[in-house]
Structure 1
Amino acid sequence: MSTKKPVPRFTVITLGVNDIRASIAFYEALGFARKMNATGEAVAFFDTGGTVIALFPWDQLAGDAKLPDQPRPKTFRGTTLAWNCNSTEEVDAALDFAISCGASLLKPAHKTDYGGYSGYFADPDNHTWEVVVAPRIEVGEDRRVHLPD
């Protein structure tokens, strides 16, 4: 038996969706590049620059995890996805763009108590996204978030 500790990795966020065609169209409209198109509408993968967003039919995802499909929550799920930006102008532009692609505005962009600036939108399945610029957190040309030590 090996005593070597596995290397932790956060690689994919899989979102359960009600209408995979509509969700694929939404994430493509946001500008995420779809990969592995051969999967058709069974599952959709999008390159985000560091991790991957996967879209999977909600009922099948629940079944795969051995969880009940119903009731589906219509309230906050305790999780947000984040779109980090480098300026307040970029936050405003990204939030406006997401809304133009079919997102629902949850909270307009505003100054935060920690010195940042953020707003929230929901995708077509009510997955919550924060669009934010935060002090000391930068997004590089590689689209990855760079955190200070």
Structure 2
Amino acid sequence: MSKELPAPVPRLTVITLGVADIRASIAFYDALGFSRRLKATGEAVAFYDTGGPVLALYPWDLLAADARLPDNPRPSTFRGVTLAWNCASREEVDAVLAFALGKGAKLLKAAHESDYGGYSGYFADPDGHPWEVVVAPGIEVGEDRRVHLAE
């Protein structure tokens, strides 16, 4: 008689971005101030502590091959995914956007009041991955840099 295993606990642990030039992407994310870990991987893959899920950078073609997906054509339009940098205040949103642009990010949308009572703007990393920089009602950024959601 087989014993049924308990359902696994869902969790998001790593977000991996496919990048065209890993050296340039490492320089960009280093410049943003994310803390790189497992540096022994060199330029094969880069891992960053984000205060939540790990951010990984991996060459686009190798990531596609690993997932058994076609490498081409690479999308030049919206991919249906954004990353977010939640902030504690509107002033922090403005500061983060200015900081990212100063490190080579491209502005996608200037910070603005949102229809849900928040404040946000968007930048793109060197490979066009969009990041929302946002302060939103019900989402608090704690002293631990982690996001805390209201019940």
- Is 1:34 the counterpart of 2:29? The answer is no
1:16 is displaced (CA, Å) by 0.1
Q: How does 1:1-149 map to 2 (within 5 A)?
A: 1-149=3-151
Once the two structures are TM-superposed, the CA of residue 22 in structure 1 deviates from its matched residue by 0.3
Deviations 1:16-45 (A, max 9, x none): 000000000000000000000000000000
Quick one: which amino acid aligns to residue 81 of structure 1?
Answer: L
Aligned residue identity for 2:66: D
AA matched with 1:33: S
Q: What is the distance in 2 between the residues matched to 1:145 and 1:9?
A: 15
The CA RMSD measured in Å over matched residues stands at 0.7
Equivalent-residue separation in structure 1 for 2:42 and 2:143 (angstroms): 30
SS of the equivalent of 2:138 reads: coil
Which amino acid in structure 1 is aligned with residue 22 of structure 2? Answer: I
C-alpha distance in 2 between matches for 1:41 and 1:67: 22
Does the residue aligned with 1:28 lie in a helix, a strand or coil? helix
Question: Which amino acid in the other structure matches residue 67 of structure 1?
Answer: L
Q: How many residues align?
A: 149
What are the ranges of 5 or more consecutive residues in structure 1 without an aligned counterpart?
none
Task: Compute the displacement of 1:3 (Å).
Answer: 2.6
Q: Give 1:50 shift.
A: 1.2
SS of equivalent to 2:107: strand
Deviation by residue 1:93-128 (Cα, 9 ceiling, x = unmatched) = 000000001000000000001110000000000000
Separation (CA, whole Å) in 2 of partners of 1:110 and 1:15: 27
- Identity among equivalent positions (%) equals 74
TM-score, normalising length: structure 2? 0.97
Task: With the length of structure 1 as denominator, give the TM-score of the two structures.
Answer: 0.98
Segments ≥4 residues shifted beyond 6 Å: none
Return the alpha-carbon distance in structure 2 between the equivalents of residues 93 and 75 of structure 1.
Answer: 27
